[in-house]
Amino acid sequence: MASSPRFQNRVVLVTGASSGIGRACARALGREGARVVAAGRRRERLDELVAGIRKDGGEAAAVTGDVREEATCRAWVGEAVTRFGGLDGLVNAAGVLGAGSVIETTPAEWDRQMTSNLRSIFLLTRVAAPELIQRKGSVVNLSSVAGMRPYANLAAYCVSKAAVDMYTRCAALDFAPHGVRVNAVNPGVVVTELHTVTQAVPDYAGFLERSKTTHPIGRVGQAEEVATLVLFLLGEDAGWITGVTYSIDGGRALASAR
C-alpha cells in the first residue's frame, strides 16, 4: 500500500511565495499533500502558483499584503483558519537584500532590511502562535550564510540575518513547552530573484560564475534544494530538532572570504 504524502491535510502558510525559495517550498508542500496558503505581494505570480498546485491535485489559496504590517499577518493567519481550519506550519521565506557598507547604508535602507527580514518573522510568528500551539506545529525561517559570517558591503543584510538566527533560538525555547518547533536554514548563493530585484548585484551572470569559486562544492544552489531541507525540518521526521540553524551552502560558510 502506498504511503500517504508527508503533509497530507496539514495547513502551511508560506511567505515570499511569489518567487525563489518561498515559491519552491509552496510547490513542494503542495506535492506532499499540504493545504498551502501562499503569501506575498505579487498577486499574478501567486495566482499562477496556486493554479499549478491545484492542477496537480493539491489545495492552495493566495493572500497578498505587506508582511511587515501586523494587520496583514492577522489576515493571512485568519485566511488559513477560515479556509482550511487551522495552521500546522509556517515558512517565513519573505525577505530582501540590499548592498551597502556601514558607512554608506542610509537609515531608511537599514530599516527596510530590518523590517523585511526580521520584523516580518517576529510579527507573523507571534500572530500565528495560538494556532501553531493548538496543533503543535512547526516553523522554519529563511536565514542566510550571511547570518553566520560577515561580508563587506552587506552590513544591514548580514545583521538582519544574524538576528534571524538568534530570534530562531529564542523562539525555539519559548515555544518548546507548547510542543512547537522553530528552526532556520542558512543558504549560500541560490539562483533566485533576490539579487536582481533591487539590482544589488548589477552583473548577476558574472556573480553566479564567481560564486562557483567561493562555494567549495563548485556550484551555486537551486531553490528546490533548499525547499527539500525546509520540508524536512517542518515535518515529523525532524520531531526532535528545534532551535537549529542549518547551513545549506555548498560549504560557503567554511571558506575564507575572497
Query: Which residues are catalytically annotated?
Result: 157
As a whole number of angstroms, the distance between CA 116 and CA 226 comes to 20
Residue among 242, 235, 192 nearest 29 (CA): 235
Residue among 63, 100, 55 nearest 82 (CA): 63
As a whole number of angstroms, the distance between CA 45 and CA 36 comes to 15
Cell of 191: 539562483
Buried b (16+ CB within 10 A) or exposed e, 17-35: bbbbbbbbbbbbbbbbbbb
Cell of 256: 575564507
Cell of 157: 543584510
As a whole number of angstroms, the distance between CA 93 and CA 140 comes to 8
